[in-house]
Structure 1
């Protein structure tokens, strides 16, 4: 296979797919039109296609031989509740919704990969499963439902790409071990007794108790967790009161916890419960804690990362460099696939300052240098055609 020729010949079509999706974004678990559009792009290929897998997901199987192993490639396709501020021809046509994380690019790359591999089916050394996943951005995550529905049945390895505005266009970023953190959420309700601001002695002030709560939460990472391990505890919301001279009855504190190791996650949860109990005894309030575990940590398999590097280490056309990159405290539901089979999640750079594609993910001006999609498709093609 002439990878350079194949990718170049389909580049304009790939851009068109990405731009169509960018103009017509849909939120998590609401991707009705998007899943139909994806199906229309692959329905004429020699694939065994299953629709509505675990929700709005699609599974497309390129079967080559019963004697071969099977590799799955995954792309997500949901958008975010963000109003786009880019002035581009393919700007979102849905008010308050945009592809601000690159999922449109992920899907365009995988559709293009499916077309190229299908055209060379008889020369492939493995079977390929194309996973088009809904709802990565919202708990419980589309990956969870798709795994439960059997999307990985018969799969030996799984790989996924995430474009990145942190890395220059065409760079392949890999990570051994942990790639993304577990992403949890917490919510405290601190209930006191309201009263007049001039008579605090007659009330039980939940605001003061909550202020202490927030201070104590900051000691978990600094004074409870082993400093050689990672944990983030962030109180991102603090809501209380309706007037300057009223002591409210209720105060609420919400935030996120990010960890990698399960024992650290348990340690943080235990400490947060201890703080809850201590707050009740110290301030006379009633304190309730709701802790919701989000996506597990993404843990790459060394063997799978080795395979990716071996497949792309020489003779690349669009991959400009291959660099080991830092792990991220952001969450990603690709973790559910890696809990079932070996695999790796890696980055493709799409940052080009001249094109102003260096805004962070989830920003209203996020965009990509579309040339980076060539490197993404190349990485998939080399991975599959060189699979050992």
Structure 2
């Protein structure tokens, strides 16, 4: 395997400029979730004529599957990269900044897709030496529920697949670090929208009105007691009110207010507790203030759980690979964002791990920020890391 890995790493090194150029193309031309038609076409065109099988429009959308059949029989490993962007106005000043107003690759999915395309291209060139099949999952719509993973799974993207691997580049983690965690690695999520309906009135006669702003304010405060008083202190949960729409005139009591937000949990059993308490508090406050409400409470992405044995395999593969660009291999603990990779992990033993993308001495911005930036050296690290895991898996298994 050492010789095969050397061949793969050499190919990736030689194609690093192509990897960067592809990433920059996607960055300049971002597309929102479920609307990534040109991105999907670019990806499909890249594989045209190569020695692989391609399926497009997977899941009734923009998903793409690429199967690389090795020269020998073996297991089937799926490797996944997402390719949607976000509704954010870019403010990086990069020469390859988004050319689409109000849309930006602010999470690194352009980098995921670029490294995966070049890795797949290199594996295709080495396919006769591989024992097994690699299924490349190019997934749309990670950012918006129900997420692209769910539809692709329903369309059969995991049929015949034994294990699944994925990587996320991380703008807040140091360049050169590769990080992993067995068990629950990403939170599960729910989103909500509450519209409170009261009775409007004049500010000088509040006794004739039922004030939704006061009721909503009480709710914003009270709902935080779910985490502080209903969740085990050793558990993880957050309840965030991200939008409070109560704008009006200074002397007018609003007849309706809209609140929106989300919930994050690290155990699926915690999900039910938060939802029950949330609805109980909302109902009680609205009864107290004599107002009504409409609630849309949607549970979406599950907790993402890395299979311990698969994660151990990835860590062993990376440790043995001795990738020159990797400074540290770190067990990083669970991460608070949510990821629809969780749907793959529910269906097959999986590992979702991380590649640092922040270069020391440069500004650091979080994901989903208008100034979000990844150092492009992380792309080669991601390609080599996933490549090392793929070769180890096909050779040694889990």
Q: Tell me the TM-score normalized by structure 2.
A: 0.94
SS at match of 2:88: coil
Mark the CA change 1:60 to 1:336 in structure 2 (over 3 Å): closer, same or farther.
Answer: same
CA distance in structure 2 between the partners assigned to 1:247 and 1:183 by the alignment: 34
Partners of 1:317 and 1:116 in 2: how far apart? 19
Render the CA deviation track for 1:318-364: whole Å, top value 9, x for unaligned: 222100113222111101111110111110011014454x2211111
- Does the alignment pair 1:186 with 2:216? no
| 2:354 equivalent among 347, 352, 356 | 347
CA contact (8 A) 1:241 1:247 kept: no
Shift, 1:65, TM fit? 5.9
| Distance in 1, Cα, partners of 2:75 & 2:247 | 60
Residue number in structure 1 paired with 2:139 = 133
1:22-101 matched pairs, under 5 angstroms:
22-54=27-59, 55-64=61-70, 67-101=73-107
Name the counterpart of 1:305: 311
> 2 CA distance for matches of 1:70 and 1:218?
45
What SS class does the counterpart of residue 390 from structure 2 fall into? Answer: helix
Structure 1 residue ranges without an equivalent (≥5): none
Q: Which residue of 1 aligns with 2:252?
A: 246
* CA displacement at 1:288 relative to structure 2: 2.7
Correspondences of 1:170-249 after superposition (within 5 Å)? 170-249=176-255
1:184 offset after TM fit, Å? 1.2
Check 1:120–1:237 CA distance in 2 against 1; reply closer, same or farther (3 A cut).
same
State how far apart, in whole Å, the 2-side matches of 1:166 and 1:239 are: 31
Q: Which among 268, 272, 296 is matched to residue 262 of structure 1? A: 268
Match of 1:114 in 2: 120
Q: 2:72–2:132: 8 Å Cα contact kept in structure 1?
A: no
Any idea what the Cα deviations from partners look like across 1:273-299, whole Å, max 9, x if unmatched? 111221233111113322011211111
1:334 aligns with 2:341: yes
What's the CA shift for 1:18?
A: 0.8
Q: Distance in 2 between the 1:213 and 1:86 partners?
A: 37
Rounded to whole Å, the distance in 2 between the matches of 1:130 and 1:339 is 18
d(CA) in 2 for partners of 1:238, 1:95: 26
Residue 66 of structure 1: how far off its partner (Å) = 7.6
Name whichever of 103-112 and 92-101 sits farther off.
92-101
Deviation at 1:44, TM superposition (A): 2.2
TM-score, reference length from structure 1: 0.97
Q: Deviations over 1:91-145 (max 9, x none)?
A: 2111221111111110011101111111111211331000001111111111111
Q: From 16, 26, 34, give the equivalent of 2:21.
A: 16
When the two chains are superposed, the root-mean-square deviation of aligned CA atoms in Å is 1.4
Deviations 1:236-280 (Å, cap 9, x if unpaired)? 111225211111111222211101212111001101111122123
**Residues 319, 378 of structure 1: 8 Å contact kept:** no
d(CA) in 2 for partners of 1:199 and 1:68?
A: 77
Deviation at 1:84, TM superposition (A): 1.4
Q: What are structure 2's unaligned runs of at least 5 residues? A: none
Partner of 2:367: 361
Aligned length: 387
In 2: Cα distance, 1:24 partner to 1:118 partner:
27
Q: 1:303 deviation in Å?
A: 0.9
In structure 2, C-alpha distance between the alignment counterparts of 1:351 and 1:177, rounded to whole Å: 25
Residues 181-206 of structure 1 show CA distances to partners (whole Å, capped at 9, x for unaligned) of 11211122221111111111111111
Q: CA offsets per residue over residues 195-240 of structure 1, 9 Å max, x none?
A: 1111111111111111111111010000011111111011111122
User: Which segment is superposed worse, 369-378 or 80-89?
Assistant: 80-89
